[in-house]
Structure 1
Amino acid sequence: MKRLLVIVSLVFGLITNPLFAAPSLIPAPPQLSASSYILIDAYTGDILVEHNADQSVPPASLTKLMTAYIMEYELARGNLSFEDKVTVSEKAWRMKGSRMFIREGTQVSVENLMRGIIIQSGNDASVAAAEYVAGSESAFADLMNQHAQLLGMKNSHFVNSTGFPADNHFSSANDIAKLARATILQFPHNYPLYSEKYFTYNDIRQPNRNKLLWRDKTVDGLKTGHTEAAGYCLAASAVRNGTRLISVVMGAKSDEGRAVESQKLLDYGFRYYETRKLYSRGQVVNNAHVWGGSQSNVKVGFAEDVLVTMPRQQGTSIPATLDMHKEIVAPIAVGDVLGTIVVGTEGDVLLERPVVALEAVEEGGFFKRLFDNIKLFFTNLF
């Protein structure tokens, strides 16, 4: 095992002398003028900054991130298409607050409704979409809560598709960040909708309320919200030099305030942290011995890219330990977990990931299995 660890370390440059590792000095995060907020790495999910992030509060129109997410979910499964025509109900047409200005009895494409929800924050568009997907807004709310549970949104409960003030309708900064992350990672083809600055419908041109789209060219989403109870809210995302961050600010004092406070969070995160890829999907880290197989070794590596959030300027190499299962016996299927890699040092573990079989190994013949069983017996004996 010791020789195996040295080989892994030399090949991937993961062992470094701590005497030569420059410390990464990171100041305390900014204190924002908002009731709750969070900053996460979109690719790893690591939390960089948080304040009251699990506190349940009114989410206002950040609710529409879930409405849009469900639409994208249904689109991805072929249950909807952008070309579908949705007939506008009286309820949707009569919605107050921010609107797309759709008319009762007319038909609107799903694609236009998506833009109306995301860019114009249309309450009317959200209700029309909810009714089309689930038959009624209340049934759609039940669907929203099911998705929230699947996404691990533990401090959220939805009763409508818009975020219009209602009893028992709440979420949290952390939950909204999880939802934003799922939107970005699961449906990348639709994500450009969140960066569009204007949308015109019925000859009415409305701007995206996310001011950061104009101020910071690295920002490409996501959604604003405001009610008297919720204050001013903004879920934003930006990508710089391969690192994508998501900020959620809830309960800011003003429209300008939510933009300024969100910018503080994003700038802090990009200045002091980065996402680093340690291993690639399918990368081989070991050829492990197989007992009783049609071949004597199996290639071991990763099912997905291994990413880690790290302080900037930290050393270019990181300690890593590969711990393989003591006995690997055929048959082996692709994806079978055969060990674990631990990145970091004792007391400062950055991540642990399973290593898996990258190829299948069938059982060997009778005499091969018999011979290996005898060898394995004496190996364990001594």
Structure 2
Amino acid sequence: MFSMLLAGAELCIKLLAGCYCKLLMWCDLKAMKKIRQVYWLLLLQVFIGVAGARADEWAGAPGIAAQAWILMDADSGAVLTEGNADRPVEPASLVKIMTSYLLGQALKSGALLAADKVHVGTEAWAAGNPVLQGSSLMFLKRGDQVSVAELNKGMVVASGNDACIALANYLAGSQDGFVTLMNETAQVLGLSNTTFKTVHGLAAAGQVSSARDMAVLSRALIHDLPEEYALFKERAFTFNGVHQYNRNRLLWSTSLEVDGLKTGNSQEGGFSLVASAVSGNRRLIAVVMGADSDHARFQETEKLLKWGLRAFETAMPIKAHEAFIEKRAWFGAARTVRLNAGERPAITVPYGKADAVKISAILNEPYLRAPLRKGQVVGVVNFQLDALTIAQKPLVVMETVEQAGWFSRLWDAVLLKLQQWLGVCVACAV
């Protein structure tokens, strides 16, 4: 099977290369640059498709009984296995992950404080809002003055729909305003198969998400807002004498170290679960959507997490704050510039294969020309295993390099022209 995939990939690459060469014959310089970018993007997609198939073949991914699922390495972002991961499914209470993300960002920025008192209106009172009756509640009462911190716990731990409404009204002025923020944030995060209609996840026409989008959102929450994410591992919450347990039963697992995230279920969307587990310095995120029963969602999610932790490992052959290579910075105030693989250089490899990974870098342009800005992407870093590209990361400038003075730039122009004519590194001897 894999040899057939490789043959298909080779044919795709040859076709792309042929088209690429013919297009360059007919285009000006600007068009050439654009075509080069598109070519490398298409080539990357071919590599990623083959790499994903090889990973599953190496490790024997389990079958999952659900409408959709995905398993992601939280550090590298690598997808270890998936099924119908982009299928739109009603997310139910998984919506609260986005509500939590927005609240966490507001707390982080100082836009609101954990100690702020929120007035509970009729909308957040189950007796006054028929939509809330029979659903998960924190059991707020109209006229209560409740802190943001308590409402946050009520939303995350007790899955309180009333807490979501109270927080949304306080933060955005209305539920509609908060939903607008949710959808704008979804676009920023690249959640291409997600549309939010409510702040809590109760059934609403057109409200959908996908397993991939939920994994991406959860990864952002874990990475960007560790203090907010810490609430998801709390097993119980008490408010006004009502004691409730977290619905994520994997938090009590004796075979996995699970510390989040969220359950959801509805008539149309079935039973869903987003869960994250850690082992040493590794973290995986599993999403199962549309299982047939409450038991099945936990069983299938546990199956994914155990398989991923056993079959793969997270490696960091390039350190986040160390240079991978140095290149000449033409026309720059500094002679060279340090480059690495960005802030998230981790990759995922089959267990025991980390030492066999080979690394190479490809520049977008033959020469780096100042000014160069810190964080600027100037190429790609390829990670290969058994001659197969298993991951690619951006090749990133580590520090800003300003342009040199006019005389130095003139001298570099002469050296560069000589190097292009002679085909040797003239600058290396200067």
TM-score, L = length of structure 2: 0.78
**8 Å contact 1:243–1:274 — kept in the other structure?**
yes
* Displacement of 1:290: 3.4
Give the Cα–Cα distance (whole angstroms) in 2 for the partners of residues 27 and 289 of structure 1.
42
Of 277-286 and 235-244, more deviation after overlay is shown by 277-286
Question: 1:291 aligned to 2:323?
Answer: no
Change in Cα spacing, 1:377 to 1:274, as seen in structure 2 (3 Å) is same
Question: 1:194 aligned to 2:232?
Answer: yes
Q: Corresponding residue for 2:75?
A: 43
* Displacement of 1:145: 1.4
Give the Cα–Cα distance (whole angstroms) in 2 for the partners of residues 62 and 68 of structure 1.
10
Change in Cα spacing, 1:223 to 1:336, as seen in structure 2 (3 Å) is closer
Q: Among residues 212, 218, 221, which one is paired with 2:250 in the alignment?
A: 212
Secondary structure of residue in 2 paired with 1:355 = strand
Q: How does 1:161-172 map to 2 (within 5 A)?
A: 161-172=199-210
**8 Å contact 1:24–1:312 — kept in the other structure?**
no
* Displacement of 1:369: 3.5
* Displacement of 1:295: 4.1
Change in Cα spacing, 1:98 to 1:296, as seen in structure 2 (3 Å) is closer
Q: Corresponding residue for 2:357?
A: 318
* Displacement of 1:339: 4.2
Q: Among residues 345, 353, 359, which one is paired with 1:306 in the alignment?
A: 345
Q: Corresponding residue for 2:374?
A: 334
Secondary structure of residue in 2 paired with 1:239 = strand
Q: Corresponding residue for 1:7?
A: none
Give deviations 1:61-120, integer Å, cap 9, x for gaps. Answer: 111111111111221222111111111111211222111111111111111111111110
Give deviations 1:199-228, integer Å, cap 9, x for gaps. Answer: 000011100011100014510000111222
* Displacement of 1:237: 0.4
**8 Å contact 2:100–2:228 — kept in the other structure?**
no
Secondary structure of residue in 2 paired with 1:279 = coil
**8 Å contact 1:24–1:313 — kept in the other structure?**
no
Give the Cα–Cα distance (whole angstroms) in 1 for the partners of residues 324 and 351 of structure 2.
26
Secondary structure of residue in 1 paired with 2:316 = strand
* Amino acid paired to 1:246: I
Give deviations 1:115-157, integer Å, cap 9, x for gaps. Answer: 1111101111111111112222122222211111222112221
Question: 1:343 aligned to 2:383?
Answer: yes
Q: Corresponding residue for 2:5?
A: none
Q: Among residues 48, 53, 62, which one is paired with 1:30 in the alignment?
A: 62
Q: How does 1:11-90 map to 2 (within 5 A)?
A: 26-90=58-122
**8 Å contact 1:24–1:314 — kept in the other structure?**
no
Question: Of the two structures, which has the highest relative contact order with CA contacts closer than 8 Å and spacing of 6 or more?
Answer: 1
Change in Cα spacing, 1:334 to 1:31, as seen in structure 2 (3 Å) is closer
Give the Cα–Cα distance (whole angstroms) in 2 for the partners of residues 78 and 66 of structure 1.
18
Change in Cα spacing, 1:334 to 1:135, as seen in structure 2 (3 Å) is closer
Q: CA RMSD in A?
A: 2.2
Secondary structure of residue in 1 paired with 2:317 = strand
Structure 2, gaps ≥5 residues long: 1-54, 127-131, 423-430
**8 Å contact 1:33–1:261 — kept in the other structure?**
yes
* Amino acid paired to 2:270: G
Change in Cα spacing, 1:326 to 1:34, as seen in structure 2 (3 Å) is closer
Secondary structure of residue in 2 paired with 1:200 = strand
Secondary structure of residue in 2 paired with 1:281 = coil
**8 Å contact 1:88–1:128 — kept in the other structure?**
yes
Secondary structure of residue in 1 paired with 2:227 = coil
* Displacement of 1:337: 4.0
Give the Cα–Cα distance (whole angstroms) in 2 for the partners of residues 258 and 89 of structure 1.
35
Give the Cα–Cα distance (whole angstroms) in 2 for the partners of residues 167 and 223 of structure 1.
22
Question: 1:373 aligned to 2:413?
Answer: yes
Question: 1:354 aligned to 2:394?
Answer: yes
